[in-house]
A = this chain, B = another copy of it.
């Protein structure tokens, strides 16, 4: 969903928004069924009933569709972050927001982006793309982190840094989850949280005894 703009006014705008959403939904569905690589942009366009050229007028690249789908999910994360108590530090709040956000995802399923089933578990490639092309998402997250902390991401480098590190940790957790065979999503969340919780120690002075990955 385009959660940023409230309501398209003219018929033209409404049609455009609807088509855009339909492209996203169809693309996500096809990615589920055939995988990201296994789906061509022409197939997506054909399934919606438009030309490939039109597809590329809506999205700069095949990956951009995934990014657009992720935006809806991110909005929920941002909401969860805003809802955290103000006395939590930015990073901790982000960690907890991630947990809350996940619960929300499990409850709601993912119909908000047009899929009825779990996105991550069904198509790791998609999450992969998500995590790899996270610049834009990172910027948006930095914005929210900055707001919450009352600093301007344009001048204070810390929000961006927190966002970057957050996604880096997630990426790591995701890879671990994959290497363990892409099990259920609770495990993925646990993998995420593990990385986030380990972070302070990992960059800290005392590594203590060797750490074992939580089984």
Contacts of A198 in B (CB 8 A): 157-158, 161
- Chain A 190-215 interface 0/1 with B at a Cβ cutoff of 8 Å (1 = within): 00001100111111111100111100
Q: Let me know if A158 and B206 touch, CB within 8 A.
A: no
**B-binding segment of A44-52, A68-76, A148-156:** A148-156
* Known contacts A155-B212, A204-B89, A206-B89; is-contact A199 B161 (Cβ 8 Å): yes
Is residue A140 within 8 Å, beta carbon to beta carbon, of the partner chain? no
Whether the Cβ atoms of B157 and A203 lie closer than 8 Å is no
- B201, A158: Cβ atoms under 8 Å? yes
Instruction: Mark A residues whose CB is within 8 Å of B.
Output: 89-92, 132, 149-152, 155-158, 160-162, 164-165, 167-169, 171-172, 175-176, 194-195, 198-207, 210-213
If A89-B207, A132-B132 are given as contacts, then 18 extra A-B residue pairs at C-beta distance below 8 Å, sorted by A number, are: A89-B203, A151-B207, A151-B211, A157-B194, A157-B198, A157-B211, A158-B201, A158-B207, A160-B175, A161-B172, A161-B195, A161-B198, A161-B199, A164-B168, A165-B202, A165-B203, A200-B200, A200-B203
**Nearest 9 A/B pairs, CB to CB:** A168-B168, A91-B203, A164-B168, A158-B202, A89-B205, A161-B202, A151-B210, A156-B211, A164-B172
